[in-house]
Structure 1
Amino acid sequence: MSENNPLRDVFDAIADPTRRRLIRLLSEAEEIPLHDLTERFSMGRTAVSKHLNILKEAGLVLDRKAGRETRYRLNAAPLREILAWAAFYSKFWDTNMSRLNQLFEEEEE
């Protein structure tokens, strides 16, 4: 589970390509109204809203009402959990690749 919000795991939230695209779109703007986000997908408003709610449950998206519309913005802080996870495996692969290179060099000698 996410340390930011126990309702939804961050890894689960970003597992879907549509949600990753929503994160990308939100990262490129300060705030985006729901209707603007919906225009960028080949699905209805309800489907986009469901994806946004999953991101919201993971703490990745914040929303606010502005009159009759809902505006969304990215909260990137929970992505640190993914960065930390990937960094561990990056170090793992760097170490193993260094060992492999060392073996190749020893065989060439």
Structure 2
Amino acid sequence: MNFLFSRPNGYPYITKTVATRMERLMSMTSIKKKATPHIFRHTHISMLTEAGVDLPTIMKRVGHEDVATTMKVYTHVTEKMKKNAPVQVSNLHENILQKVFS
């Protein structure tokens, strides 16, 4: 059923179960920041954005109807995206020029 944390039959774990396990695992690390399972939603959307997945697909996947919600809250410009932008533009222009002169 496309849940991040699910049983072998596809049904999701109870949210509290995931949160409790996550708290226990976090206590075994040196990480001091409070983290909840909701952070995986932000991470997932950021990763989809980095991968170049289009906004309507992301919105459908996470159940958003309002573009502003997705754009304002979730799609952060990551360092990886900033770093790759010049390369992507260069590749695009190079491909266009190759087609023109071919």
Q: Give yes or no for TM over 0.5.
A: no
Q: Which has the higher contact order (CA 8 A, sep 6+)?
A: 1
How does the TM-score come out when normalised to structure 1?
A: 0.31
How does the TM-score come out when normalised to structure 2?
A: 0.32
